[in-house]
């Protein structure tokens, strides 16, 4: 992540060139990121839309009525997806922050091995991992319920959280904690007033990733949820073939939290916050 | 006012390497300014962190006013350390930084605000409350760090290289400020430095450490006049050494026999040390020998001569006017004032016990 330096006042001729270039960049990025979503939205309000028409010949609110209607359980699935993603985020933070601290601050025997193993769930296809886990989960009654799905979502998310935090802590000077202790802060006060504010942007970024990764899980939810746990991606896949209009509307619902979370946390994602320097520089 | 006693204090980080701090005994006087001096890696900062409670000693004890404080947590010791790189909390403004210690002690906000004001006045940065640390220069950050430590009225103030990150001008200013505050508040203060001049100028007493071991603990002038070893004399710089044999108040060297009432060795192989300022040129009589001027430098406030006596070269620092009296190649009498000769042990392997007192 790099931020372009602010244009300097007083260098007028070059400033214009730069501004133009920057706007071109922004527009290009928007076209690339937002344009693919436009057809989704149009699908959701179309009734008839056949080749070679650029826009649908007839519009309808039917898809959105379907989304709201209780029979399709969209609202329930949205709630379920949110709940799982939130639980998963909380667990990731609770486990990943201390793990990241250990990796970022301390040197211990076998640290390199741990670092490689942490990446393993990201490198190994989720399907392979989950097939192994599935039998265990069935045995312990974790198959087909929210708890099991939440736990299995930790497989792809916890590595992200840990890696983000280890980067943050690698850039963190522990002497700040010693300084706080020396000035009269106890262990907890030190964590609360000194460490947490320093690593907070990293926690936000990690939590954001975790939430979105969990939110968009399909394969893991399908296998461990065993058809009992219905999340938005599952629902979306069901409609994708048969009902493109409803799938379009669902996609819009599906994309929303990502955009929302991204906007809310954008100030932590910009390279300006010192604590995220670690990942900012990668 | 707190007297700090270090007793057999030892810190071993790694069994394979020698101790960072080795069996250190030190009596840090109450209300005084004491310097821990030594080259980098000699264990100064480690010692300081142990006093602050930020590092656990491997062996030995630390006592405040006679009571062991090893079991007391750092936040309750009242020994506040100011780190070399200031460590102002970056996301707090200056007022919150200075008030941090009081907030931790649950002092009410109104009182914190007024005491922060007092501290800003004390360090001569009034009106800086709302600024952020990164808006301050190094010298200003240093003063804020000092204010943040002083506001909790510590029993012991620990300063880690307080002047090393400042340029020459700010260094003098800071030196004066530290001395003034320390005298006014009478806080037992320990500061770490690698610069012998800084230690001598600022401290009431200096503890010199090499490789985690105490070499000498004395008033600053003793390090120049009566150093314990050749190494110490060398660390303080610019001394002439002439090897010889000491017996009954005289030292016999290759270039002559000198009266030397002040000696660390009772008898035997020894080294005559004399500071360049104590070498008198052009004076004959007792304790004088004949030497040849090799070269000289006029430095405004003083003059510096290189003199060869026999096979030995020594340095003499004199009044600037003396450059007119002696030319290069001249044969002149060179006198060592007996009272200014200091006789040391011959090598660094056998070090006499460090004097304390």
Residue ranges of the domains in chain A? 9-63, 71-281
Domain A71-281 fold: MetI-like fold (1.10.3720)
Instruction: Kindly report, residue by residue over B308-329, the tens digit of the pLDDT.
Output: 999 999 999 999 988 888 989 9
Please check the confidence at residue B356 and state whether its pLDDT lies above 70: no
B152 and B278 assigned to the same domain: no
A282 band by pLDDT with thresholds 50, 70 and 90: very low
Domain count for chain B, please give it: 2
Among candidate residues B220, B249, B282, the one where a domain is terminated: B220
Residue B56 and residue B102 in one domain: yes
Q: Which helix (H) or strand (E) holds B162?
A: none
Domain assignment present for B229: no
B98 and B38 together in one domain: yes
pLDDT at res. B167:
84
A187–chain B nearest CA distance, Å = 9
Mean per-residue pLDDT of chain B: 90
Burial class (CB in 10 A: 0-12, 13-18, 19+), B314: buried
Task: Please tell me whether residue B148 adopts helix, strand or coil conformation.
Answer: helix
pLDDT of residue A35: 79
Residues in chain A: 282
DSSP-derived secondary structure letter, A267? H
CATH number at residue B333: 2.40.50.140
Cβ distance A184 to B89 less than 8 Å, yes or no, reads no
Return the residue of B nearest to A190 by Cα: B104
A274 near B CB under 8 A: yes
Work out the average pLDDT over B249-271. 91
pLDDT of residue A10: 46
B353 assigned to some structural domain: no
Q: Is the model's pLDDT at A118 over the cut of 90?
A: no
Q: Is A174 on the interface with B (CB under 8 A)?
A: no
Of B52, B54, B75, which is closest to A185 when you measure between CB atoms? Answer: B75
pLDDT-wise least confident of A1-15, A155-169, A173-187, B340-354: A1-15
Are residues B276 and B133 located together in one domain of the fold?
no
Write the residue in B54, B83, B105 that is nearest to A184 by C-beta.
B105
Question: How far is the first Cα of chain A from the last one, in angstroms, to the nearest whole number?
Answer: 8
User: What local confidence, expressed as pLDDT, does residue A14 receive?
Assistant: 54
For the stretch A202-229, pLDDT in tens is 898 889 889 999 998 988 898 888 888 8
Residues B195 and B73 in one domain: yes
Residue of B nearest to A196 (CA): B91
Residue B278 has pLDDT above 50, yes or no: yes
What value does the mean pLDDT take over residues A80-93?
A: 94
The answer to the question of residue B27 being in a domain is: yes
Q: Are residues B95 and B207 in the same domain?
A: yes
| pTM reported for the whole predicted model | 0.78
Residue A34: both structure tokens together: 């937002």
**Are B90 and B123 in the same domain?**
yes
Structure tokens of A194? 């000194």
The domain boundary, picked from B188, B220, B252, lies at B220
Tokens of A202: 């990293």
Rounded mean pLDDT of chain A? 82
Per-residue model confidence as pLDDT tens digits over B35-52: 999 998 889 999 999 999
Say which CATH number the domain at B50 has: 3.40.50.300
- pLDDT band at residue B349 using 50, 70 and 90 as cut-offs: very low
Binning pLDDT at 50, 70 and 90, where does residue A2 land?
Answer: very low
What whole-number percentage of chain B has pLDDT above 70? Answer: 97
Distance of CA A234 to the CA centre of its chain: 18
Q: Looking at residues B333-350, what average pLDDT do you find? A: 82
Write out pLDDT tens, residues B151-201: 999 999 999 998 888 888 888 888 888 999 898 889 999 999 999 888 998
Asked if the structure places residue B109 within a domain, the reply is: yes
Write the pLDDT tens digit of every residue in A232-275.
888 888 888 777 788 888 888 888 877 777 777 776 665 444 44
Task: Tell how strand B156-160 and strand B79-82 pair up.
Answer: parallel
Assigned domain for B127 exists:
yes
Q: B105 lies in which domain range?
A: 4-220
Helix axes A244-264, A196-215, angle to 10 degrees: 180
Compute the count of residue pairs across chains A and B with CB atoms less than 8 Å apart.
Answer: 64
**Residues B37 and B71 both lie in one domain:** yes
Residues B293 and B246 in one domain: yes
Structure tokens of A238?
Answer: 């069901």
Partners of A186 in the beta sheet? none
Nearest residue of chain A to residue B104 (CA atoms): A185
Sign of CA dihedral B197, B201, B202, B206: positive
Record: contact A185-B149, CB cut-off 8 A: no
B85 and chain A: CB distance < 8 Å anywhere? Answer: yes
B139 with B53, same domain: the answer is yes
Flag whether residue B112 sits within 8 Å of chain A, measured between CB atoms. no
> Residue A73: what pLDDT?
83
Cβ atoms B2, B189 nearer than 8 A: no
State residue A267's pLDDT score.
67
pLDDT above 80 (res A47):
no
């Amino acid at each position: 992540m790099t931020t372009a330096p602010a244009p300097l006042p007083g260098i007028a001729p070059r400033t214009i060139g730069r501004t133009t270039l920057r706007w071109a960049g922004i527009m290009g990025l928007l076209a690339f990121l937002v344009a693919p979503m436009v057809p989704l939205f149009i699908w959701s309000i179309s009734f008839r839309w056949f080749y070679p028409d650029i826009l649908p010949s007839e519009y309808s609110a039917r898809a959105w009525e379907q989304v709201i209607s209780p029979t399709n359980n969209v609202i329930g699935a949205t709630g379920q997806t949110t709940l799982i993603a939130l639980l998963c985020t909380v667990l990731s933070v609770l486990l990943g922050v201390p793990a990241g601290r250990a990796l970022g601050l301390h040197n211990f025997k076998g640290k390199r091995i741990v670092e490689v193993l942490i990446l393993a769930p990201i490198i190994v296809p989720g399907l392979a991992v989950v097939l192994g886990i599935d039998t265990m989960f069935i045995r312990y009654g974790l198959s087909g319920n929210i708890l099991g799905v939440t736990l299995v979502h930790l497989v792809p998310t916890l590595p992200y959280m840990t890696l983000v935090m280890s980067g943050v802590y690698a850039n963190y000077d522990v002497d700040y904690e010693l300084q706080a202790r020396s000035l009269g802060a106890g262990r907890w006060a030190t964590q609360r007033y000194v460490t947490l504010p320093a690593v907070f942007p990293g926690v936000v970024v990690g939590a954001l990733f975790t939430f979105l990764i969990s939110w968009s899980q399909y394969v893991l939810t399908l296998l461990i949820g065993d058809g009992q746990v219905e999340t938005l991606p599952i629902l979306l896949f069901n409609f994708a073939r048969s009902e493109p209009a409803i799938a379009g509307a669902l996609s819009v619902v599906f994309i929303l939290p990502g955009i929302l979370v991204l906007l809310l946390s954008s100030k932590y994602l910009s390279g300006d916050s010192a604590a995220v320097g670690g990942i900012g520089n990668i | 006012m707190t007297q700090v006693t270090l007793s057999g204090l030892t810190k071993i980080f790694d069994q394979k390497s020698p101790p960072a701090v080795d069996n250190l005994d030190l009596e840090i006087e109450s209300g005084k300014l004491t310097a821990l001096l030594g080259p980098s890696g000699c264990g100064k900062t480690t010692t300081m962190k142990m006093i602050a409670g930020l590092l656990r000693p491997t062996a030995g004890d630390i006592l405040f006013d006679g009571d062991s404080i090893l079991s007391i947590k750092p936040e309750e010791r009242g020994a506040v350390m100011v780190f070399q790189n200031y460590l102002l909390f970056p996301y707090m403004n200056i007022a919150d930084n200075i008030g941090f210690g009081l907030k931790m002690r649950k002092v009410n906000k109104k009182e914190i605000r007024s005491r922060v004001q007092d501290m800003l006045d004390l360090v001569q940065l009034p009106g800086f409350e709302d600024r952020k640390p990164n808006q301050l220069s190094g010298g200003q950050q240093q003063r804020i760090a000092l204010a943040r430590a002083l506001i909790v009225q510590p029993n012991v103030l620990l300063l880690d290289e307080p002047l090393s990150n400042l340029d020459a001008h700010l260094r003098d200013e800071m030196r004066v400020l530290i001395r003034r505050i320390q005298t006014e508040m009478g806080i037992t203060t320990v500061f770490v430095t690698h610069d012998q001049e800084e230690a001598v100028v600022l401290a009431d007493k200096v503890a010199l450490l090499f490789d985690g071991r105490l070499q000498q603990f004395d008033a600053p002038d003793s390090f120049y006049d009566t150093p314990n070893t050749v190494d110490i004399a060398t660390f303080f710089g610019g001394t002439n050494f002439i090897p010889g044999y000491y017996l009954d108040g005289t030292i016999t060297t290759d270039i002559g026999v000198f009266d030397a009432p002040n000696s660390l060795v009772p008898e035997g192989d020894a080294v005559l040390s004399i500071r360049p300022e104590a070498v008198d040129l052009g004076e004959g009589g007792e304790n004088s020998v004949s030497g040849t001027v090799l070269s000289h430098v006029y430095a405004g406030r003083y003059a510096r001569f290189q003199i060869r006596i026999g096979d030995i070269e020594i340095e003499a620092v004199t009044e600037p006017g003396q450059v007119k009296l002696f030319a290069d190649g001249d044969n002149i009498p060179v006198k060592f004032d007996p009272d200014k000769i200091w006789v040391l042990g011959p090598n660094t392997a056998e070090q006499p016990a460090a004097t304390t007192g």
